[in-house]
Structure 1
C-alpha cells in the first residue's frame, strides 16, 4: 500500500512541477486592416505632396525650403542678425493664421490671437511645433503642411476637416530664453 501511495505522490509531484503552457487565442485577426490603412495613408501623402510641389512650381518667386520633418516653407521676413532660436522650455510669443493650400482663410490671425507657447511643453499640431523650432524672433515664415503634419484624420473638430493640408503664415514676435527666467 505504501508503494502505491509513494507512486501517486511522485506522479503528482512530477505533474505539478510542469511549467504552464501558453494558451492559444480563440480567434486570430490578420493585419489586413492595418495594411490597407497604411496603403491609403501612403497614397494620400503622395497626392498631397504632389499638389504642394505643383503649387510651388506655380509660384517660383518664393525660395521654398523642404524641412526634414516633411513640410515646406519660405521666409517672408528673415532675420540674419538674430541668433536666438527657441530651445526646450523657451517661451515663444507668436501670431499665425491657418488657410487651405488655395489660400482660403480657415482661421485668421484675429481668430487665433497672439499665442504664448512653451517650447515642447504644450500642445500644438506637429507641423507648427517643428516649424517654430526653425524660426527666430522677428521672422515671418509661410509653411505648407501636408495633413499628417497638420490636424490629420480628425481635423480640429470645428473648421478643419479630415485630412486637410494647410498653409500657415507664422510670425515670431519674441523668444524668452528659459534660462533667463530661472
Structure 2
C-alpha cells in the first residue's frame, strides 16, 4: 500500500512540473515575414486604389468625395435642409445594393430587402457604418469601398471575392430611436 502511494505521488509530482516554453529557431524570420507582408499589403492597396480612382474618374455624372475613412462617396439624391442624421443607437432603415467596380450587381436591393441597421451596435460593412451617419432621411449615396473597408481578405464566402472593392448605393428611408 505504501509503495502504491509513493508511486502515485511520484507520478503526480513529475506530471505537474512546468514545461519551459520553446523559443523560435530563427527569431529574425518572423520579423522578415511581417515586413514582407506589410510591403505586399501596401502594393495591393496601391493597385486597388488606382482601380477605384480610375472608376471615379470615368464617372462623368457624379462628383465623388473622399472620406477620412478611406472610401469615396457621391450624392445621388441630396437633401439640402438641416435634417438629423443617424447617431449611435438609432435604427437606420435603409435599402442598399452591392456591385463590383464595373457596376455589375452582386446583391440587388430586392435580394437584400429593407435593413434595419442599429447604428454602431451591429456588424455591417465598415465603410457603410460610417457612411450611413452622413445621411439624412430621403438621401441616396453611392459609396465606392476598398476591400479593407468592405469584406477584406476573406470576402463574404459567397459572391464577393477576397480583396474585392465594391460599390454600394444606399437610401436612408427613416431613422428610429
- TM-score (normalised: structure 2): 0.83
Q: Which residue of 2 aligns with 1:10?
A: none
How many residues are treated as equivalent by the alignment?
155
Cα 1:114–1:82 change in 2 (3 A) is farther
Point out the structure with max Rg over C-alpha: 1
1:171 aligns to 2:171 (yes or no): yes
- Most deviating of 50-59 and 102-111: 50-59
1:63 aligns to 2:63 (yes or no): yes
Which ranges in structure 2 are unaligned for 5 or more consecutive residues?
A: 1-19
Shift of 1:25: 5.1
Per-residue Cα deviation, 1:141-163 (whole angstroms, up to 9, x for no partner): 00000110110100000111101
Work out the CA distance in 1 between the residues paired with 2:138 and 2:35: 45
Q: Which residue of 2 aligns with 1:104?
A: 104
Per-residue Cα deviation, 1:87-112 (whole angstroms, up to 9, x for no partner): 11011000000000001111000111
Work out the CA distance in 1 between the residues paired with 2:148 and 2:141: 20
Give the SS at the match of 1:124: coil
Q: Which residue of 2 aligns with 1:159?
A: 159
Q: Which residue of 2 aligns with 1:131?
A: 131
Q: Which residue of 1 aligns with 2:23?
A: 26
Shift of 1:33: 2.0
Shift of 1:24: 8.1
Question: What do you get for the CA RMSD once the two structures are aligned?
Answer: 1.5
Contact 1:86-1:133 at 8 Å conserved across structures: yes
Cα 1:80–1:96 change in 2 (3 A) is same
Which ranges in structure 1 are unaligned for 5 or more consecutive residues?
A: 1-22
Work out the CA distance in 1 between the residues paired with 2:58 and 2:117: 34
- TM-score (normalised: structure 1): 0.81
Contact 1:82-1:137 at 8 Å conserved across structures: no
Shift of 1:82: 4.5
Work out the CA distance in 2 between the residues paired with 1:128 and 1:65: 15
Q: Which residue of 2 aligns with 1:94?
A: 94
Give the SS at the match of 2:54: helix
Work out the CA distance in 2 between the residues paired with 1:113 and 1:33: 43
